[in-house]
Amino acid sequence: MPQFESVDQVIDELAAVGYIADTRLATTVFLVTRLDKPLLIEGPAGVGKTELAKALAAVSGRQLLRLQCYEGQDETKALYEWDYGKQLLYTQILREKIGQVVADAPDLATAVDRIGAQESVFFSERFLAPRPLLEAIRSEEPVVLLIDEVDRADEALEAVLLETLAEYQVSVPEVGTFTAKQPPWVILTSNNTRDLSAALKRRCLHLFLDYPSAERELEIVRSKQTGLPDALAEQLVGIVRGLRELDLRKSPSISETIDWARTLAVLGVQELSSAILSDTASVVVKYDKDVRKALGALPRLVDPNAVVPEPGHGHGHGHGHGHGHGHDHDHGEPDGRAIRAAKDTPGRHGNTYGSDPLNGGPKPVTPAKVSADRGSRSFTAGLGRKRAL
């Protein structure tokens, strides 16, 4: 298998298979191949962590084995499990042979001991179903082992990984310990949905992979031969970077930038406008609230000098208000503030709160006079009634 002779060769070899790496990333990959240590890559989704493992396998000619992690995953899906169906089938086939083994047994205990002595037949490599970790260790040829999104797995699986990452071996209690003849190149990826244990990080080289610079992202888009003209690709990269600065639930990834470029190329777009970008924004923005934020920002991202109406103004309901905040209603309608002020004027209703239906019109209403001791007499009378009750 070819080995990298220098960091520059790593950059060139990865570029040959469409993966654009900077010096920092290439240096880390070079150390992985020389130190035989796993590499843990952390960073946001869609920055090329998984693609690095695929590119490394393509460059080196090694087989890629992938363990996709998820919540609730146990060691049987990562290391190995016993093929119980196969064991049962062999039991049925060998039933007659088992009868011969215990045929001359003097008692039940002896028969059980003789059958127990044959357990190793059914718990052997013949019935062992290897999963990605054990398969990578047992492989006769060197491989690239991708442990993808390890942060999604439970902490219990991290403990299972420690032996494999530190010793390049897997222990099977019924069989023994398998040690790698050819240490695999191990790439672990994490989207930082939770913190990984210090024990796991201590066993790995570490690299944080963030969104690339505009120049490198443009180079990546060009390398994928999307069909979009270079000038438009450069403008599109700038727009995507502007969307990433918004408070989005999920920022557009590099792969989504490539998908957007291909989409615009398929549509035959010759000039980027807010209209065509709004119609295709769902290629890079995947949540409803994010879409609304993106649609509001796209006009300014396309043209920084664009005049965009502020929210709540110029809504065009046909009222002709203009919303000038001064409320200078030139259309002859009464001023609402003046109406509200008039309602607060003392005595605005005069003395005619009631009406005289017999005389056909309102009459002055004179408030009833209340003597000074009226309240005290009422209060005393109320106490008397309570005592009577």
User: What DSSP string runs through 216-260?
Assistant: HHHHHHHHTT-S--HHHHHHHHHHHHHHHTS--SSPPPHHHHHHH
For residue 312, the model assigns a pLDDT of 46
Other C-beta atoms within 10 Å of 345: how many? 8
DSSP state of 185: E
Q: pLDDT tens-digit profile of 325-368?
A: 444 444 444 555 555 555 555 555 454 444 444 555 555 555 55
- pLDDT-based confidence at 114, cuts 50/70/90? low
Separation in Å, CA 130 to CA 68, 122, 135, 169, 178? 15, 15, 5, 13, 11
Q: Give the domain ranges of the chain.
A: 7-78+131-208, 81-127, 214-300
Other C-beta atoms within 10 Å of 294: how many? 23
The pTM of the full predicted model, rounded to 2 decimals, is 0.68
Q: Name 177's bridge partners.
A: 171
Angle between helices 230-244 and 214-223 (to 10 degrees): 130
Q: pLDDT tens-digit profile of 130-178?
A: 889 989 999 999 999 999 999 998 888 888 899 889 899 988 877 778 8
Indicate whether 216 pLDDT > 70.
yes
Share of the chain above pLDDT 70, in %: 68
Q: pLDDT tens-digit profile of 179-190?
A: 998 899 999 999
Other C-beta atoms within 10 Å of 247: how many? 8
DSSP H helical ranges for the chain: 7-16, 23-35, 49-60, 75-78, 84-93, 95-101, 108-116, 119-122, 132-138, 155-167, 198-202, 214-223, 230-244, 254-266, 274-279, 288-302, 336-342, 374-388
Across 94-112, average pLDDT: 70
Indicate whether 12 pLDDT > 50.
yes
CATH number of 7-78+131-208: 3.40.50.300
Across 259-267, average pLDDT: 96
Q: 66 or 365: whose pLDDT is higher?
A: 66
Q: Name 148's bridge partners.
A: 68
